[in-house]
């Protein structure tokens, strides 16, 4: 077929539409229609709008692109191939296959050019708020000569329907993130049928009420110049994030499936693909990409090389705090901050949220990129950095007031972490980790280096009752692969917990108490870094008592009582399962010898403790409203129960032998 009469840009757009059909068709899985409809928008972004160098995907001052409508991943993969990020045509042919570079939804740390992992709807648009927050903060701190870029997002009706988009958009408007531009793919089609079945929101009014600049550009989905002009108008609004509403037609230009819910999935078979390609003036050949189209996009992908060179020169001549800039980009924060932590005398009682606060204060003084706050619980969470808060007027501030937006906070933390240049943390009560689970899972999946600070970690919360008393939360979070969870017992372990977070390329969960616990002898930073270690030993122990967090001191007290009764007990702290499990078996055996019975105690569900202990003391029910100490006592989280249960266990073993 002769395509010589087709304008080169039009030909490129048509090739993108064809790849949007071919990739899912070969995989027999995926979403075709959205990629087809958005091909012109993708073309405009990657050839006319965005600043990037495809050969240098980690350039710190690149524009960020987020495909929040991650089900249309074939669109992003097609652009990454065409513009030269390293994907080959064979990678598109391996779409959604085992160990391919083009998985079913875009995954950060898996494919160059993918900034954040998207697919769970709403996460991408919320991550983008974090990306924009990091850019705004670094630009204010180091100047636009080092940091001056935009975040562009493609979002669909599903993204705007999910609750997290409301939280994130509200925060973005409040902070005036003017370099955030979201293009809303307003196609009026969901999987079940027309969006009108379940959605009658006025997106324009909604985002305007959040403080966004909004422009509805209507039926121009195939007009490259109109799309470009609208995005440039959005860029000109410097004090507000922007929403550009673009009316598209899913499955365009198919006469059979355009504007139907079938186009949301795998509607286009060989016959319909051939018909669409004929309409587009393309040969009916799978994965057909002519050299002239590749050349056009590779030119666009290489255009940023000169901008990278100019940026490098600006960095070299930068007269500001160059060491702080280098430290922020490297993320290599060392351990010197530990020397700045205020010392606590043994026996002094503090809640671990308070000992963590001491670490936060020291980290803020030592690490320029340390940034974070709380979901309206700054003092309660020990999440005070100090100084002026980050705001629309002061984006250089480091104290973030996320407001009561736990889900949005979690997603923003992921975005900030994936942006780079900052070490972000966010705090709330542990029971509200339920609101944050989607971004926590994405953080673990994408190795986002952020810290989730969760306090009020057990029924020790007390009078607020079972709605605020976590019991299943710690164990459910331990079940997430790639999430490092640490429950420290005192200041020494809190220091170790924060050091472990700094040393880990991925997310960390810090589980902290409301109630006070004593500073203990024998706890250590090094022990936390090993995950589990001996706090108090005994020669030829009869029993190993394993505790975490606020229950560790109960094990030490029980060991003393047992000693008086002629029973020798070793006390082991197990603040981090993930780190302990990473030790060699021989090193684990030195701490938990397989020939010595073990008892664990943790103020939460006992599920899972069987991997380390013969008997587990815990709470396999919801709590009660009463003073925290009384609740703990009545539910068996006390020294007497450890002593009695130990004796029962040893009696059973003795009888069995």
Sketch the domain layout of the chain as residue ranges.
8-308, 330-518, 532-656
546: β partners: 572, 600
Residues with Cβ < 8 Å from 592, sequence gap 6 or more?
Answer: 532, 544, 546, 572, 598, 612
Q: Give 469-485 pLDDT, tens digit per residue.
A: 999 999 999 999 999 99
Residues with Cβ < 8 Å from 535, sequence gap 6 or more?
Answer: 520, 522, 523, 527, 552, 555, 556, 571, 572, 573
Mean pLDDT of the chain: 97
Task: Report residue 325 as tokens.
Answer: 């800039």
Burial, 386: exposed, middle or buried (Cβ in 10 Å; 0-12, 13-18, 19+)? exposed
pTM over 0.95: yes
User: Range with the lowest mean pLDDT among 53-57, 339-343, 375-379?
Assistant: 339-343
Q: Give me the pLDDT at residue 657, please.
A: 82
Active site residues: 406
Q: Give me the pLDDT at residue 514, please.
A: 97
Closest CA to 259 of 74, 45, 36, 20: 36
Q: Give me the pLDDT at residue 2, please.
A: 65
Max distance between CA atoms of the chain, in angstroms, equals 95
Q: Give me the pLDDT at residue 5, please.
A: 66
Please state the rounded mean pLDDT for residues 22-27: 98
User: Range with the lowest mean pLDDT among 91-95, 251-255, 345-349?
Assistant: 345-349
Please state the rounded mean pLDDT for residues 303-332: 95
Q: What percent of the chain has pLDDT over 90?
A: 97
Residue length of the chain: 657
User: Residue 446 pLDDT more than 90?
Assistant: yes
Q: How far is CA 259 from CA 75, 174, 280, in A?
A: 18, 36, 18
User: Residue 3 pLDDT more than 80?
Assistant: no
Please state the rounded mean pLDDT for residues 164-171: 98
Q: Give 402-441 pLDDT, tens digit per residue.
A: 999 999 999 999 999 999 999 999 999 999 999 999 999 9
Q: Note the Cα 149 to chain centre separation in Å.
A: 21
User: Residue 590 pLDDT more than 70?
Assistant: yes
Quickly state the pLDDT bin for 1 (edges 50, 70, 90).
low
Q: What CATH number belongs to 532-656?
A: 3.40.50.920
Closest CA to 287 of 431, 102, 441, 115: 102
* Distance in angstroms between the alpha carbons of the first and the last residue of the chain: 85
Please state the rounded mean pLDDT for residues 229-233: 98
**Same fold for the pair 8-308 and 330-518:** yes
Q: How many other CB atoms sit within 10 Å of the CB of residue 487?
A: 32
Quickly state the pLDDT bin for 450 (edges 50, 70, 90).
very high
- Residue reference for tokens 């080092």: 146
Task: Report residue 18 as tokens.
Answer: 């064809």
User: Considering only the top CATH level, what class is 8-308?
Assistant: alpha beta
Q: What CATH number belongs to 330-518?
A: 3.40.50.970
Alpha-carbon distance of 523 to 572, in angstroms, equals: 10
Q: Give me the pLDDT at residue 6, please.
A: 78
């Amino acid at each position: 077929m002769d395509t010589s009469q087709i304008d080169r840009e039009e030909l490129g757009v048509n090739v993108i539409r064809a790849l949007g059909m071919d990739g899912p068709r070969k995989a027999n899985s995926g979403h075709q229609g959205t990629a087809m409809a958005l091909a012109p928008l993708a073309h405009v972004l990657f050839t006319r709008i965005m600043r990037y160098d495809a050969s240098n995907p980690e350039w710190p001052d690149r524009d960020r692109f987020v495909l929040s409508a991650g089900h249309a991943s074939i669109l992003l993969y097609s652009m990454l191939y065409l513009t030269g990020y390293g994907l080959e045509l064979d990678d598109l042919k391996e779409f959604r296959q085992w160990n391919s570079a083009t998985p079913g939804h875009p995954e950060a740390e898996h494919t160059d050019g993918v900034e954040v992992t998207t697919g769970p709807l709403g996460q991408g648009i919320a991550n983008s708020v974090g990306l924009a927050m990091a850019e705004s903060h670094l630009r204010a701190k180091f100047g636009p000569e080092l940091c001056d870029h935009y975040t562009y997002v493609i979002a669909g009706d599903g993204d705007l329907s999910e609750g997290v988009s409301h939280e994130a958009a509200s925060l973005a408007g409040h902070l005036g993130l003017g370099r955030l531009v979201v293009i809303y793919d307003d196609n009026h089609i969901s999987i079940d049928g027309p969006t009108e079945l379940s959605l009658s929101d006025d997106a324009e009014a909604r985002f305007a009420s959040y403080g966004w600049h909004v422009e509805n550009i209507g039926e121009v989905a195939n007009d490259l110049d109109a799309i470009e002009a609208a995005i440039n108008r959005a860029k000109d609004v410097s004090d507000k994030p922007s929403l550009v509403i673009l009316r598209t037609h899913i499955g365009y230009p198919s006469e059979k499936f355009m504007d139907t819910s079938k186009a949301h999935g795998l509607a286009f078979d060989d016959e319909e693909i051939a018909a669409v390609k004929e309409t587009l003036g393309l040969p009916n050949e799978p994965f057909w990409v002519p050299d002239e189209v590749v050349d056009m996009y590779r030119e666009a992908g290489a255009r940023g090389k000169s901008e990278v060179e100019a940026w490098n020169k600006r960095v070299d001549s930068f007269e500001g705090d160059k060491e702080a800039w280098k430290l922020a980009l490297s993320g290599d924060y060392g351990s010197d901050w530990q020397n700045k932590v205020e010392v606590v005398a043994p026996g002094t009682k503090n809640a671990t949220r308070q000992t963590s606060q001491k670490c936060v204060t020291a980290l803020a003084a030592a690490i320029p990129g340390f940034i974070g706050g709380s979901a309206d619980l700054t003092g309660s969470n020990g999440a005070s950095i100090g100084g002026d808060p980050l705001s629309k007027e002061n984006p250089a501030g480091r104290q973030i007031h996320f407001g009561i937006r736990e889900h949005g906070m979690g997603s923003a933390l992921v975005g900030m972490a994936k942006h780079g240049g900052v070490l972000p943390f966010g705090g709330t009560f542990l029971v509200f980790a339920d609101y944050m689970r989607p971004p926590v899972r994405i953080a673990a999946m994408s190795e986002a280096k952020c810290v989730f600070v969760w306090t009020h970690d057990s029924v020790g919360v007390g009078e607020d009752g079972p709605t605020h008393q976590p019991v299943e939360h710690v164990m459910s979070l331990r079940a997430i692969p790639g999430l490092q969870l640490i429950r420290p017992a005192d200041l020494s372990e809190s220091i170790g917990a924060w050091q472990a977070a700094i040393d880990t390329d991925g997310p960390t969960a810090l589980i902290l108490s409301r109630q006070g616990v004593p500073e203990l002898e024998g706890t250590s930073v090094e022990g936390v870094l090993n995950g589990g270690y001996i706090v108090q030993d005994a020669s030829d122990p009869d029993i190993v008592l394993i505790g975490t967090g606020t229950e560790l001191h109960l094990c030490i007290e029980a060991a003393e009582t047992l000693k008086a009764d002629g029973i020798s007990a070793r006390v082991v702290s197990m603040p981090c399962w993930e780190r302990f499990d990473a030790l060699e078996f021989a090193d684990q055996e030195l701490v938990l010898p397989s020939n010595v019975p073990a008892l664990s105690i943790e103020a939460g569900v006992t599920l899972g403790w069987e991997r380390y202990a013969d008997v587990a003391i815990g709470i396999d029910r919801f709590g009660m409203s009463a003073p925290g100490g009384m609740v703990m006592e009545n539910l068996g989280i006390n020294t007497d129960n450890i002593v009695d249960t130990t004796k029962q266990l040893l009696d059973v073993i003795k009888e069995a032998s």
